[in-house]
Amino acid sequence: MNRKAIRWTCAAWSLVFSVMVSSALACSWPPPKGTEAEQTQAAYDGAEYVFVAKLRSRSLAMPSSPSESIHENAQLVVLEVFKGDLLVGQPVSIRTNLQDSCGVSLINGPAWIQENDFPQRPSRAMYFSDTWLLYVTGREPFAVAIYSRSRPVNLVRGDIDVLRQMPRRLPRTWKSIIYR
């Protein structure tokens, strides 16, 4: 084998090994404890921002080099705020690493939740609402991970009911701040 062939072979094996290792790494976290209301309260306590937002746009950022990952970039608008200083009507951005074993897509593509109505049929990606309840921490762009309670609203009605019973500040709107 010549040097060029050896380099290509090493590069190919390196790529195969890195894919095998990255797919073998699993996202793990302790199982939730307590009732649904207690889990919602714990997630609320652990997040800096808790809000409902509607998806406006979403795109994939493909890697420009092998060391980079595929990211989902999304723009949402805030509909309701339970915690944090976000404003109703404010645009927010989400950037999630989809090749991280914990990163999740806002449109379930690639699918991270499957549904199967009939055991004899293959499972399929579950339908997601374009409106999300988000529990996030840090600065924008936020990230969504499978271990948080962030979910599409069609999957978390109980959380929203619990959150609406909690005391909170009066909502301010994005437009009321901009147009002063």
Domain assignment of residue 83, yes or no: yes
Q: Which of 24-28, 61-65, 127-131 has the lowest mean pLDDT?
A: 24-28
Domain assignment of residue 129, yes or no: yes
pLDDT of residue 8: 39
Cα four-point dihedral sign 98, 103, 109, 112: positive
Higher pLDDT, 94 or 115: 94
Q: What is the CATH number of the domain that holds 143?
A: 2.40.50.120
Domain containing residue 161: 29-178
**Could you give the number of structural domains in the chain?**
1
**pLDDT, tens digit, 9 for 90 and up, residues 33-73:** 899 899 999 999 999 999 999 999 998 888 888 777 888 89
Domain assignment of residue 14, yes or no: no
Query: What is the longest distance spanned by two Cα atoms in the chain?
Result: 72
Higher pLDDT, 161 or 1: 161
Q: Are 131 and 56 in contact (CB under 8 A)?
A: no
Q: Are strands 71-83 and 49-61 parallel, antiparallel or unpaired?
A: antiparallel
Task: Round the average pLDDT of the chain to a whole number and report it.
Answer: 77
Average pLDDT of 111-139? Answer: 75
Domain assignment of residue 22, yes or no: no
Domain assignment of residue 24, yes or no: no
pLDDT of residue 162: 93
Name the CA radius of gyration of the chain, rounded.
20
